[in-house]
Amino acid sequence: MAYDDPDYLVRREVDRITIAGATTEGAKFRSFQAMRLKKVHAAVITAGTATTHGYNVFHGTTSVGAIALSTSAAGVSASSALLNLEIAAMAQLSVKSLADATGVGHIVYEYEVTNDAVQS
């Protein structure tokens, strides 16, 4: 994709739902194109019962960010810090819940396709 292409700077998103469970990995995502992960957002579906409700963001097996939700009510959202990470094609992104076993979240990955990405 050329720098002058109108889609070059368009942010894209994909969303996943987590499941309840302490330190449970979920919301896995892969893309066939190389990308730049900008931020990860989470909205509460089921409120956590402990202040440890939240998620660590993973690129492969490396933790790259965190989202704290605590005992926030359904519909409340929070985001990771700006990540701006280069992600190779087919690399896995995921979140792992913190110590709360009750909370469920709606995870949204915000990213850009990089200019060297494979186009099909």
Q: Is the pLDDT assigned to residue 4 strictly greater than 70? A: no
Tell me: pLDDT of 106 over 70.
yes
Q: Look at residues 6, 16, 19 and name the one whose alpha carbon lies nearest to residue 102.
A: 19
Closest CA relative to residue 84, chosen from 34, 36, 42:
36
Q: Which two tokens stand for residue 17?
A: 């739902």
Structure-block tokens of residue 93: 């992104």
SS3 54: strand
Of the spans 5-9, 13-17, 39-43, 114-118, which averages the highest pLDDT? Answer: 39-43
Residue 44: how many CB atoms within 10 A of its CB?
Answer: 21
pLDDT of residue 32: 87
**pLDDT at residue 11, as a whole number:** 84
Q: Is the pLDDT assigned to residue 56 strictly greater than 60?
A: yes
CATH class held by domain 12-113: mainly beta
